[in-house]
Amino acid sequence: MQHIKVRGARTHNLKNLDLDLPRERLIVVTGLSGSGKSSLTFDTLYAEGQRRYVESLSAYARQFLATMDKPDVDTIEGLSPAIAIEQKATSHNPRSTVGTVTEIYDYLRLLYARAGIPRCPDHGIDLTAQTVSQMVDQVLRLPEGTAIALLAPVVSDRKGAHAEVLEDLAAQGFVRARIDGRIHEMEALPPLEAKKRHTIEAVVDRTRVRADGAQRLAESFETALRLSGGLVRLSFLDEPSREELVFSSRHACPVCGYSVPPLEPKLFSFNNPVGACPTCDGLGVQEFFDPARVVTHPHLSLAGGAVRGWDRRNEHYFQLIQSLARHYGFDIEMPWTELPERVREVLLYGSGSDTIDFAYDPAAGRRSRRRHAFEGIVPNLTRRYRETQSAVVREELSRYLGMRPCPECHGTRLNRAARFVFVAGRSLPEIAHLTVGRALEFFGALDLPGWRAEVAGKIVKGVGERLRFLRDVGLDYLTLDRSAETLSGGESQRIRLASQVGSGLTGVMYILDEPSIGLHQRDNRRLLGTLKQLRDLGNTVIVVEHDEEAIGEADHVVDLGPGAGVHGGHLVAQGTPAEIRANPDSITGAYLSGRRRIALPTLRNRPDPQRGIRIVGACGNNLRDVTVQIPLGLMTCVTGVSGSGKSTLILDTLFAHTTARLNGSRVDAAPVQAIEGLEQIDRVIDIDQSPIGRTPRSNPATYTGLFAPIRELFAAVPEARARGYDAGRFSFNVKGGRCEACQGDGVIRVEMHFLPDVYVPCDVCKGQRYNRETLEVRYRGKNIHEVLEMTVEEAARFFQNVPTAAAKLQTLLDVGLSYVRIGQNATTLSGGEAQRVKLSRELAKRATGRTLYILDEPTTGLHFQDVEQLLQVLHRLRDEGNTLVVIEHNLDVIKTADWIVDLGPEGGEGGGRIIATGTPEQIAATTDSWTGRFLRPLLERDAAQRPGPATAALERAALA
């Protein structure tokens, strides 16, 4: 069959959709947000493909797999086994890394186990094990007639007279021994001082190298190895100053005797007790009580509450502090930051051997005195955390915990033996810390000697293939040891995509959700090449995508719409990209062809040099002592290739330090010398794509504050007043009006043990959340459940005469969420939808003009028309005097910014520098800027299309 034939698809908002999708082609599904793209691809095609696969298995196997409901569709023919690659975190397991997820680390473990050379950590000597035959062959390669002595170490740098050892050697028939570097006859041994260290070696044989002496040498080596436990030294009798040869039958250091266990792959696994660091159990980090968290209010005094629980409100601990103040002569009313460094050190970590007179004066009882050392606040918290059996106490104390690299393994996760095995001079942790790009260079140039090259050949080939797949999807800046839980959704998706290409499967239907998210235009072509490679293996690749270049490279495009929600779900157009551009009914086609476009602003807002937030000396992650100014009152776009340092600069540095300063929040922040100008703002808000809630109780109505006026309206209805119902009656979060069978959730959670929990509709309220009496109260013919089921568009019409509700609904309409139900579970909203709900809440607030908004890729999941609508909202916030900082790759957003900060030039260690700052026109004129190279033709095209030759000429002059 040449096509996947879908007939009568009605999943969610799909309107009885019929379409034929060509097999073994790259298909892009596009359309406005909420038009039904995910309903068609994931909830219909993937769900049916997965359901059919699961149903083909035995009943026993099915109990271990999560089953999917049959989608609402008449028939689907020609369906292949389906694999969905969504935008979700690869793993929340702290033990997962980029290397383990891609299986590259498994190859590296095998490489080091088979071709690695262990080395002594203290002396740097390679620990190579040899057979007796190899030892004999090495000696016979010496010049004929060389005078040698074979020595067996029996005592190595140990104190004592060692009389028993020497007597034992004499009893075994040895006639000579070398003691502390000099050979003595056993009959004339010097007395040894018991308090000094000595080294004793038995002289097993003295001979000259001869071609026919192999048998004698072999016997001597065997005797020496048996006597020493596997170590033999060879000295040159005629050349005492010549460096001696060391032979070992085991991986052991000839100097200190350090040895390693057998080199097996499990030795190099931080998930196996054999290889994991014993201090951190292979996690690479260690919990500790962070002084920055313990001293919660450093601007306060000890008496006033600088350290929570140790102020005057806690009698016992405050008396300890008072005694310390008397002993060291400091003022407990002095702010923490002004206390002497020595005093702060004692308070935090204890007085050591210094004892102090402590006076205890309990409220009831006799005054007592005791003299002892002070434990220290941090050791006190550590002890209490370790000893407590109370979950409440443990949770309270955990607020002061931070994370730091393990002091033993320094974050490498491996034990000492595994860390000191080398291939081509590099240890496994060193290789794992390389970026994908650097690792490719290393393995491309790897040239191992002898048999190691043959053993490593296939392993290196497998590593190289997987590294190239990661590079081709634009992830060459990631390090192999990066924790998987720190990856963005887009990065996780592209890692899984690279793994699928490496698997070499054929005849599969792959479904991807916006793989270009987080990817700079420079890397787009490589990603598209990977998708085509997946197609060329004989697979059908279906991609939900809005990127113009991706749509243009597709074999077949499906455009859904024409609107969102109830106005969507129709097939607007399908065919080749050229056919979509030519279709007059397609909004997508209008943007692709240039009939519609996001216009350049007629006038750019210029920055005021006197008003700005100045970041000085930012050096977190790969940032290289970055200093930059963010102008206030403008929309600034932060651009650069993936991994260039945008998130580190804006989220980990600017936002983290600003929120700590303004809100007193305790967040892990990247190092920076200073952030100046924060007195010019009074709020900072990070409008990210995290969920607005993680339970069914959260929804757009509760998050935006819309639910409160709606409940008050219902409480004012005569029927409600007659029954004595207040606004609380119409809340599903408290007892009274909610259904108690499901406690207002509308669903019952069924625990599935080793499978994800399943939510099923409540049998009592049928998913309506409220009890029957509450649902009997109606406002304009609708009960509370029916109101929550309305879309934003329907609710806006319904409440148009209620100002408090209408204003909040209008902001939801302004951000393009007309199709979302106001009572829709927060867990079902996409990241882009959650972000726009947050934006709408900000729009509804009274403007102060002193707010700093930070947005990370707000165009994720947005169609061209949605982006245009989003820009209107962002410009509205800016025009109210607020400052916007937007991390973005979308050129339509970048070209409308007032100011741009471009980082690069590359990702990872090749980035972290400011390439240029300025207007879009100034960035476009910067030859070193990747963003500028892609921005320039777009600005030239838009400037040329702008009406008015004088204006266009000015724009072109600015570009020149």
* pLDDT digits 0-9 by tens, 640-678: 998 899 999 999 999 999 998 888 766 678 999 999 999
The domain boundary residue, chosen from 223, 249, 275: 249
CA distance linking residue 68 with residue 827, whole number of Å:
17
Judge whether residue 47 has pLDDT over 90.
yes
Residue range(s) defining the domain that contains residue 940: 597-691+830-960
Sign of dihedral through CA atoms 344, 347, 349, 350?
A: positive
Strand, helix or coil at 259?
strand
Q: Let me know if residue 607 belongs to a domain.
A: yes
Residues in CB range of 860: below 8 A, 6 or more apart: 514, 517, 689, 831, 832, 835
Residues 473 and 497: beta-carbon distance below 8 Å: yes
Name the band, by pLDDT with cuts 50, 70 and 90, for residue 754.
low
Q: Could you give the number of structural domains in the chain?
A: 5
Backbone φ, ψ for residue 782 (5° rounding): -120, 140
**What whole-number percentage of the chain has pLDDT above 70?**
96
What pLDDT does residue 560 have? 96
The domain boundary residue, chosen from 249, 267, 296: 249
Q: Let me know if residue 618 belongs to a domain.
A: yes
Q: Let me know if residue 781 belongs to a domain.
A: yes
Q: Let me know if residue 254 belongs to a domain.
A: no
Whether residue 322 is found in the same domain as residue 399: yes
What pLDDT does residue 755 have? 59
Mean of pLDDT values over 426-447: 94
Name the band, by pLDDT with cuts 50, 70 and 90, for residue 955.
very low
Name the band, by pLDDT with cuts 50, 70 and 90, for residue 953.
very low
**What whole-number percentage of the chain has pLDDT above 90?**
62
Mean of pLDDT values over 342-371: 83
For 200-239, what is each residue's pLDDT tens digit? 999 999 999 999 999 999 999 999 999 988 889 999 999 9
What pLDDT does residue 69 have? 77
Residues 822 and 808: beta-carbon distance below 8 Å: no
Whether residue 582 is found in the same domain as residue 622: no
Whether residue 7 is found in the same domain as residue 81: yes
Judge whether residue 130 has pLDDT over 90.
no
Mean of pLDDT values over 375-391: 92
Mean of pLDDT values over 448-473: 91
Mean of pLDDT values over 96-109: 93
Name the band, by pLDDT with cuts 50, 70 and 90, for residue 500.
confident
What pLDDT does residue 583 have? 96
Three-state SS sequence of 293-322 = HHCCCCCCECCCCCCCCCCCCCHHHHHHHH
pTM > 0.75: yes
The domain boundary residue, chosen from 572, 593, 614: 593
CATH of the domain at 24: 3.40.50.300
Judge whether residue 951 has pLDDT over 50.
no
Name the band, by pLDDT with cuts 50, 70 and 90, for residue 960.
very low
Name the band, by pLDDT with cuts 50, 70 and 90, for residue 58.
confident
Judge whether residue 514 has pLDDT over 80.
yes
Whether residue 809 is found in the same domain as residue 838: no
Q: Alpha carbon of 745 to those of 739, 751, 822: distances in Å?
A: 8, 16, 15
Judge whether residue 454 has pLDDT over 80.
yes
What pLDDT does residue 947 have? 54
Q: Let me know if residue 888 belongs to a domain.
A: yes
Q: In Å, how far from its chain's centre is CA 869?
A: 31
Q: Let me know if residue 108 belongs to a domain.
A: no
Whether residue 297 is found in the same domain as residue 331: yes
Burial class from Cβ neighbours inside 10 Å (0-12, 13-18, 19+) for residue 315 reads exposed
For 698-736, what is each residue's pLDDT tens digit? 899 999 999 999 999 999 999 999 999 999 999 998 899
Judge whether residue 89 has pLDDT over 80.
no
Whether residue 527 is found in the same domain as residue 625: no
Q: Categorise residue 616: left if φ over 0, alpha if ψ from -120 to 50, beta otherwise.
A: beta
For 261-296, what is each residue's pLDDT tens digit? 888 999 999 999 999 999 999 999 999 999 988 998
CATH of the domain at 154: 3.30.190.20
Whether residue 135 is found in the same domain as residue 219: yes
Judge whether residue 886 has pLDDT over 50.
yes
For 305-322, what is each residue's pLDDT tens digit? 899 888 888 888 888 899
Mean of pLDDT values over 615-638: 95
What pLDDT does residue 366 have? 63
Token duo for residue 356: 């102090």
Q: Let me know if residue 255 belongs to a domain.
A: no
Looking at the DSSP assignment, which residues form a beta bridge with residue 959?
Answer: none
Judge whether residue 389 has pLDDT over 50.
yes
Judge whether residue 251 has pLDDT over 80.
no
Sheet of 635-639, strand order:
683-687, 851-856, 883-887, 635-639, 899-904, 913-918
Q: Lowest-confidence range among 326-335, 388-397, 448-457, 487-496? A: 487-496
CA distance linking residue 835 with residue 823, whole number of Å:
17
- Give CB contacts under 8 A, 24+ apart, made by 336-339: 336/295, 336/297, 336/298, 336/299, 336/300, 336/301, 336/302, 336/306, 336/307, 337/298, 337/299
Whether residue 721 is found in the same domain as residue 813: yes
Residues 561 and 32: beta-carbon distance below 8 Å: yes
Whether residue 730 is found in the same domain as residue 767: yes
Whether residue 321 is found in the same domain as residue 309: yes
CATH of the domain at 763: 1.20.1580.10
Whether residue 220 is found in the same domain as residue 145: yes
For 768-817, what is each residue's pLDDT tens digit? 999 999 999 999 999 999 999 999 999 999 999 999 999 999 999 988 89
For 681-694, what is each residue's pLDDT tens digit? 999 999 887 788 87
Strand, helix or coil at 384?
helix
Residues 948 and 660: beta-carbon distance below 8 Å: no
Helix H or strand E encompassing 899: strand 899-904
Residues in CB range of 464: below 8 A, 6 or more apart: 440, 443, 444
What pLDDT does residue 92 have? 73
Judge whether residue 348 has pLDDT over 70.
yes
Name the band, by pLDDT with cuts 50, 70 and 90, for residue 90.
low
Whether residue 561 is found in the same domain as residue 672: no
Q: Let me know if residue 123 belongs to a domain.
A: no
Determine the longest span between alpha carbons in the chain, in angstroms: 118
Judge whether residue 404 has pLDDT over 50.
yes
Judge whether residue 488 has pLDDT over 80.
no
As a whole number, the mean pLDDT across the chain is: 90
CATH of the domain at 368: 1.10.8.280
What pLDDT does residue 299 have? 86
What pLDDT does residue 689 have? 77
What pLDDT does residue 753 have? 60
- Give CB contacts under 8 A, 24+ apart, made by 942-948: 942/597, 942/599, 942/600, 942/895, 943/600, 945/594, 945/597, 946/599, 946/600
Mean of pLDDT values over 515-528: 86
What pLDDT does residue 694 have? 75
Judge whether residue 248 has pLDDT over 60.
yes
What pLDDT does residue 950 have? 38
What pLDDT does residue 956 have? 42
What pLDDT does residue 201 have? 94
What pLDDT does residue 363 have? 58
What pLDDT does residue 88 have? 65
CA distance linking residue 34 with residue 50, whole number of Å:
23
